[in-house]
Copies of this chain bind each other. A is one copy, B any other.
Amino acid sequence: MTIKDIAKLSGYAVGTVSRVLNNQPNVSETARKKILEVANQYNFVRNTNAQQLKQNGRYIAILVKGVSNILLNSVLEIIQKHIGETIYTSSVFVLDEYDNEAKTALKIYYEKKPAGIIFLGGNPQRYESDFNKMKVPCVLITNQAANVSNTNLSSVSTDDVKAAEQITDYLIKNGHTKIGVIGGNIDNSEISEHRFEGFMNSIKKNSLHFDFNTQYQTTKYSFDGGALAIKQLISKFEGITAVFSMSDVQAIGAIRMLNDMGISVPKDISITGFDGLPFTQYIYPRLTTIKQFEMQLAKCGLAALLEAINNEDEKSAHLLIPYELLEGESVLKIN
């Protein structure tokens, strides 16, 4: 079944069929009806390869960095659904933590000539030389990409700075002053940098003291990372009563490790997370954390990309999405 067949069957020419299928004007109602009828009858579906070959630019590539990231997966699902309602087609490429997202994107860029690229997670702009070769609108979702010279790149992310500040405020309000931090490397992870910035804003605002060497533990964003980090933090930070952890998974890993060491959460140590993953609200103790809104991240991200695709002269945008502080059971009020 090709449009040629449909043309023959309907008695019209391929041009007319194509016009109907693309909802273009300049087609009589009669023709439209007849052609649609035949197409439906034979369950006709356009060959996207041929279509894409002609009109380079009805295609959006989605790169997901870290499939095991539950947050990204919800966002992905929403985005795919919405793209389906536009004139664009899309497909998704899955990368693991160690892949170079810019390199992969570049390959796809040459291969498929997409109209736009969506990065879920990752930091493509870090690999400047590859990234800048792409002359296509890109949007980075969940990670922030401000301060980037490349005007192709928009970003939509949670306001990490504000959120981190608020949850730290919450710890302090509950009487904690000796707060340790579990996070990523603030020198090469934008996310960690922003969350640390927010944390420090709160610390300063409340005139507390913070010694990076003894109170901050750099580690991976994983259960094990959290487990390892808390062990070191406890041994080097005397009197610690609370931990600000930069992700839910690290917090969960830390809590488990504390349990294994005979230290109870929140009785002995309070802990907060970041992300608001569903499962954190089903464990004991329910985690006090920052909930990110997947729906908004997804919708705004896609909207920003489409905007950039359609308005050539549009500058890149950098949006911040609201968040919510989930009060769980992992923080104890002291004093």
Cα distance A81–B99 in the bound complex, in angstroms: 11
Which of A45-53, A178-186, A193-201, A302-310 is found at the contact surface with chain B? A45-53
CA distance A73 to B77 in the complex (A): 12
Per-residue interface assignment for chain A, residues 27 to 53, with 1 indicating a CB less than 8 Å from any chain B CB and 0 otherwise = 000000000000000011111111011
Query: Does A76 count as interface, using CB distance less than 8 angstroms?
Result: yes
Tell whether A284 pairs with B284 under 8 Å between CB atoms, given A70-B70, A92-B94.
Answer: yes
Cβ proximity bits A108-122 to B, threshold 8 Å, 1 near / 0 not = 001111000000000
- Residues on B with C-beta less than 8 A from A70 are 68, 70
Residues from chain B with Cβ under 8 Å of A249 in the complex: 279
Contact B67 A94 (CB under 8 A): no
A93 touches B80 (CB 8 A): yes
A1 close to B (CB within 8 Å): yes
Q: A49-B49, A49-B53 are known contacts. Are A94 and B111 too (CB-CB below 8 A)?
A: no
Known: A80-B94, A92-B94, A284-B256. A111 touches B67 (CB 8 A): no
A70, A249, A252, most chain B CB atoms within 10 A = A70
A283 at the interface (CB under 8 A from B): yes
User: Smallest distance from the beta carbon of A145 to chain B beta carbons, Å?
Assistant: 24
Bound complex: CA of A215 vs CA of B252, how far in Å?
A: 33
Q: In this complex, which of A67, A80, A92, A284 has the most chain B Cβ atoms within 10 angstroms of its Cβ?
A: A67
Q: Pick the residue among B68, B80, B81, B92 that contacts A74 (CB under 8 A).
A: B68
| A146 to B43 CA separation, bound complex (whole angstroms) | 29
A253 within 8 Å of B by Cβ?
A: yes
A268 within 8 A of B: no
Q: Give the Cβ gap from A150 to chain B, nearest Cβ, in Å.
A: 19
CB-CB nearest in chain B for A75 = B67
Within 8 A of B (CB), among A104-160: 107, 110-113
* Complex alpha-carbon distance, A318 and B307, angstroms: 47
21 sample A-B contacts, Cβ–Cβ < 8 Å, listed by A number:
A43-B110, A44-B110, A48-B111, A49-B49, A49-B50, A68-B73, A68-B77, A68-B278, A73-B73, A80-B94, A81-B96, A91-B91, A92-B93, A223-B278, A227-B282, A252-B279, A252-B282, A252-B283, A255-B282, A256-B283, A259-B284
